[in-house]
């Protein structure tokens, strides 16, 4: 899906506008999903994801984790860990990811996978980082000016009113 988003942006079929974040300067980082990057499509898919995120939030507002792409750490949400009943171990596993995200200083972590989304959301709460986990479609719709009021459940207070579409039409 991310490769398609990137293709559509390159072809001009999607025209996200990152200027909503020029003055706000809200920082975003990105979790490379193991399944999509390391295990399936490699670094080209990771580069496509970065193209999409930067096109939506602005180049200067994207901060990468280290290490990243094919060398990224798993967040701990994969392999069925979320449903295995071993919550204590799952959170312990996620400590590396939590500290990686905290080091970027980003308020938002774009998660390209449902398991990552659930796990990173929980890590932010559990370890007190306070960062949010958001799906890529959320920031893409935000930068396209089509993200409705009710579609902002994973966004913080500061983004509830930003780039809202006109509801009168």
Partner 1 sequence: MSDTRIKLKGKSPFKEMVMKLLPDGGNLNDCLTCGLCASGCPATGMDDMDPRKFLRMAALGMDEEIRKSRWPWFCTMCTRCVHACPMKINIPQLVFNARRLRPRDEMPKGILGSCDMALSKETNSAMGCTKEDFSFVVEDLLEEIKEEYPIWEERNLQAPIDKEGAEFFINQNSREPMIEPEEMGPLWKILNLVGVDWTYGSAGWAAENYCMFMADDNGWKTLTERSAQKCDELGCTTFLNTE
Q: Which residues bind partner 1 (CB under 8 A)?
A: 1, 4-5, 8, 13-14, 33-36, 38-39, 70-74, 76-86, 89-90, 92-97, 112-114, 118, 135, 137-138, 140-141, 144, 146-151, 153-154, 165-167, 169
For partner 1, which is the closer residue by CB, 25 or 96?
Answer: 96
Minimum distance from residue 128 beta carbon to partner 1 (Å): 19
Minimum distance from residue 44 beta carbon to partner 1 (Å): 16
Minimum distance from residue 130 beta carbon to partner 1 (Å): 20
For partner 1, which is the closer residue by CB, 53 or 74?
Answer: 74
Cβ atoms of 29 and 155 within 8 Å: the answer is no
Cβ atoms of 101 and 129 within 8 Å: the answer is yes
Minimum distance from residue 150 beta carbon to partner 1 (Å): 5
Cβ atoms of 136 and 2 within 8 Å: the answer is yes
For partner 1, which is the closer residue by CB, 60 or 160?
Answer: 160
Residue 7: CB atoms within 10 A of its CB come to: 13
Interatomic CA distance for residues 143 and 4, integer angstroms: 17
**Segment holding 135, helix H or strand E:** strand 132-135
**Segment holding 134, helix H or strand E:** strand 132-135
For partner 1, which is the closer residue by CB, 5 or 62?
Answer: 5
**Secondary structure (3-state) at 62:** strand
For partner 1, which is the closer residue by CB, 85 or 128?
Answer: 85
The one-character DSSP state at 108 is E
């Amino acid at each position: 899906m991310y490769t398609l988003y990137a293709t559509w942006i390159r072809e001009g079929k999607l025209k996200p506008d990152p200027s909503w974040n020029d003055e706000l300067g809200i920082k975003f980082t990105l979790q490379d999903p193991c399944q999509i990057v390391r295990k399936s499509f490699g670094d080209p898919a990771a580069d496509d994801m970065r193209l999409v995120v930067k096109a939506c939030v602005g180049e200067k507002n994207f901060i990468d984790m280290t290490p990243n792409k094919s060398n990224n750490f798993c967040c701990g949400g994969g392999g069925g860990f979320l449903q295995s009943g071993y919550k204590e171990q799952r959170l312990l596993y996620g400590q590396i990811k939590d500290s990686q995200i905290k080091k970027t200083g980003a308020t938002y972590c774009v998660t390209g996978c449902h398991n990552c989304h659930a796990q990173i959301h929980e890590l932010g709460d559990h370890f007190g980082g306070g960062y949010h986990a958001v799906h890529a479609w959320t920031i893409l719709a935000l930068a396209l000016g089509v993200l409705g009021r009710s579609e902002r459940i994973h966004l913080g207070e500061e983004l509830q009113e930003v780039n809202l579409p006109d509801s009168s039409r």
